[in-house]
Structure 1
Amino acid sequence: MVTIEPTGATKRARSVPIRVAWGVLGTLLLVWDVFEAAKHAGWVIPAAVLGAALPELARLAGLGQAHEPGRLPPRAVPLYNLLHRPLPPFAIMVVFSFLGDSPDDIAAPFTFGMSWLTVIALGRALGYGLRAPDGSLR
């Protein structure tokens, strides 16, 4: 089932338990993001902001290309889908968990991945996900 937003954007209706699970994960990650940024400060704060912005920067790949309201320009879809998969940020978190001599060495890249995963989880909780080749939600 597809619902139409007032702005013309479409969201795919997912089962309520799955969206709630994404919402719980996103909320926990958000709290953890804020905790890590406050605890470590320094480079962790810009890393967290960049991680939160990165998934949406894929939209810039479609600037200047015609598209229907609520759809992503087709040129931006592959990058958008890559940046909205949970595996890359999760892999960054896992890899950097085992690197470095102290928690301060890994805090910035770990928080970057965690912020990125937070955006994905909260987007999925709101019913957004990957895009079809024509830019519509799958």
Structure 2
Amino acid sequence: MTSSEPGSGAAERPVAWPARLAWAALGAFLLFWAVFEAVKHGGWTIPMAVLGVLVPDLSFLLGAGSGPREPGRMPARMVGVYNLLHRPLIPVVALVALSFAPTANTTIAAPFTFALAWLGHICVDRVLGYGLRAPDGRPR
């Protein structure tokens, strides 16, 4: 299968434009908010914002050295971790929990910014058509 054939990549799946527009608006808002928090608080919030953007794709390290595979399909051993890190529920729960945490605002700034950036990454992936994967590594 070549990359020009249908179904070879996640970005080729049709997603309704209103859904993509909503994901894009939410993703832009969250990423701007993460940058705002990082600049406002400085210190650990800056590397945590960068880490929040990168963490969801660290699951790709599990697929390193797995040999050739068909385009658009990831190794089965990385699907579980990839899907876990690309579910919006985890960073949303973290954001809600941190918002109501009975601590000083500066103590939760870094983990809160991490969760904002993580959720922003998930939104951008949805805009680009990259969603969760089936157990065999194909896009759902």
Distance 2:138 2:88 in 1: 19
Distance 2:34 2:71 in 1: 33
Equivalent positions of 1:19-98 (< 5 A) are 19-66=20-67, 67-98=69-100
Matched-pair contact (CA < 8 Å) for 2:56–2:86: yes
Distance 1:90 1:73 in 2: 27
Provide, for residues 36-62 of structure 1, a one-character-per-residue CA deviation record: whole Å limited to 9, x for no partner: 000001000111111111000011112
Please list every run of 5 or more consecutive structure 2 residues that lacks an aligned counterpart in the other structure: none
Question: Aligned pair count?
Answer: 134
Aligned partner of residue 127 in structure 1, secondary structure: coil
Distance 1:82 1:42 in 2: 28
How far did 1:126 drift? 1.3
Please list every run of 5 or more consecutive structure 1 residues that lacks an aligned counterpart in the other structure: none
Provide, for residues 68-103 of structure 1, a one-character-per-residue CA deviation record: whole Å limited to 9, x for no partner: 222111110010000000000111111111224221
Q: Which segments of structure 1 move beyond 3 Å, counting only runs of 4 or more?
A: none
Percent same amino acid at aligned positions?
A: 53
Distance 1:88 1:101 in 2: 21
Distance 2:100 2:10 in 1: 40
How far did 1:137 drift? 1.0
TM-score (norm 1): 0.90
